[in-house]
Amino acid sequence: MKKGLSMLTAIIFMLIIGLILSLTISLLSTNVSKTTQIYIYEQAKLLAQSATDYAVLAASAHPNNSCLNAVNFTYQNSFDINITLYYIGSGLPAGCNMLDNNLNNQESNKTLIIDTKVSLRPSLAQDSAPISYVKRTIQKL
């Protein structure tokens, strides 16, 4: 009788240890994927800031007789960066993405609203939801 009880106790103990180990492995794999997603999201935020700065620089270097409406590029074949520029002001050239062309305030003339979207390429986002970051900035030229 004692040997049977010892065998039953050993089997239950092994089942409990197996359950604890499987839960530990499950939690570790979840944490690894979340850490990867957080890293990609933070990288997208940094790229959005750099791309916005680049768009401001490109718009200020653009000739005054035309407007820069969009900038699109790819970063290291992993992120797509799409920037759309909208202009606020009076006397802007034709063909600009204008939000307001009847502005009477000279301090606000030639103001940019910059929409920046950084998204992970769909081919790289296989295991998770697509990661993207959108940033809107207002900048005086």
Which parts of 1-141 are beta strand (E)?
70-75, 79-88, 98-100, 111-120, 132-140
pTM: 0.74
CA 27 to each of CA 9, 35, 37, 38, 97: distance values in angstroms, whole numbers, following the listed order: 27, 12, 15, 16, 49
Q: Are 141 and 59 in contact (CB under 8 A)?
A: yes
pLDDT in 10s for each residue of the chain, 141 residues: 677 788 888 889 999 999 999 988 888 877 777 888 888 889 999 999 999 999 999 988 888 788 889 999 999 888 999 999 998 888 777 788 887 777 777 776 788 899 999 998 877 766 667 788 999 999 887
